[in-house]
């Protein structure tokens, strides 16, 4: 696989393999079910969902509990994670490769990205925004670290691997037919269903 950025190579390799083991507990799945129940409660139940950077499918497993009849799809750059994801969704529903290379011909009711935009090189964000927008018939859910202005911070001892900014705001400015449908915050100290300080934004195409 040819990588366009250092960040892609980082997640496709050993660090990405290690990430898999840190994020597969039953408690994390329960927190995700709670997270998506809240973040998606205002949408019409989707018949199809595409996650950008799905890893082994912990987000999609949670969504499957909420929308059991929805057709689920995932994009994943790490080979080990993509293989496990295929065992969950079926190989025809998994794209093993870079988000940058994913074809926008794929259309679903809801596109989803959670904890992935923060790891995209800022020069390539426009490409990911375009794919999130073009692949969605109606809804886009973004769940990331928020900051009103762009900043880069150290990530587990690595520089240039984590960026915070107003991702949803940039999409709203880029696409005039998007509107903010809902938003919220999930706190790492929540005693019942902790998340990693994620601010989420539910966007909808005006129809």
Q: Where are the beta strands (DSSP E) in 133-197?
A: 136-144, 151-155, 158-164, 178-186
Helix axis angle for 26-39 and 58-66, nearest 10°, is 60
Q: Which domains are seen in the chain, by residue range?
A: 6-205 (3.40.50.150)
- List 94's β-bridge partners, or say none: 74
pTM above 0.85, yes or no: yes
Q: Name 183's Cβ contacts closer than 8 Å, sequence gap at least 6.
A: 168, 199, 200, 201, 202
What local confidence, expressed as pLDDT, does residue 135 receive?
98
Alpha helices (H) along 3-159: 6-12, 14-22, 26-39, 58-66, 79-89, 125-134
Residues 32, 200, 69, 97, CA torsion sign: negative
Query: SS3 of 97, please?
Result: coil
What local confidence, expressed as pLDDT, does residue 151 receive?
94
Divide the 207 residues of the chain into consecutive groups of 10 and give the mean pLDDT of each group: 62 52 79 98 98 96 97 95 95 96 95 95 96 98 97 72 93 98 97 96 94
Q: Given strand 48-52, what is the order of strands in its sheet?
A: 94-96, 71-76, 48-52, 108-114, 136-144, 198-205, 178-186
Is the CB of residue 39 less than 8 Å from the CB of residue 141?
A: yes
Place of tokens 């995209």: 120
The rounded Cα 198 to chain-centroid distance in angstroms is 11
In this structure, what are the phi and psi dihedrals at residue 130, rounded to the nearest 5 degrees?
-60, -40
What local confidence, expressed as pLDDT, does residue 157 receive?
60
What local confidence, expressed as pLDDT, does residue 109 receive?
98
């Amino acid at each position: 696989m040819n990588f366009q950025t250092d960040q892609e190579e980082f997640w496709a390799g050993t660090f990405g393999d290690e990430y898999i083991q840190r994020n597969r507990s039953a408690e994390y799945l329960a927190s995700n079910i709670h997270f998506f129940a809240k973040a998606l409660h205002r949408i019409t139940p989707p018949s199809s969902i595409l996650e950008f950077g799905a890893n082994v499918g912990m987000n999609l497993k949670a969504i499957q509990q909420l929308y059991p009849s929805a057709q689920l799809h995932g994009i994943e750059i790490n080979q080990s994670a993509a293989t496990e994801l295929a065992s969950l969704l079926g190989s025809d529903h998994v794209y093993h490769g870079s988000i940058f290379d994913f074809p926008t011909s794929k259309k679903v009711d809801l596109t989803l990205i959670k904890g992935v935009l923060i790891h995209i090189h800022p020069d390539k964000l426009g490409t990911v925004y375009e794919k999130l927008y073009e692949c969605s018939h109606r809804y886009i859910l973004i769940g990331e670290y928020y900051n009103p202005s762009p900043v880069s911070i150290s990530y587990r001892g690595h520089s240039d691997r984590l960026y915070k900014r107003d991702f949803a705001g940039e999409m709203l400015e880029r696409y005039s037919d998007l509107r903010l449908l809902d938003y919220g915050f999930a706190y790492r100290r929540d005693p019942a269903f902790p998340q990693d300080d994620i601010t989420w934004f539910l966007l909808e195409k005006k129809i």
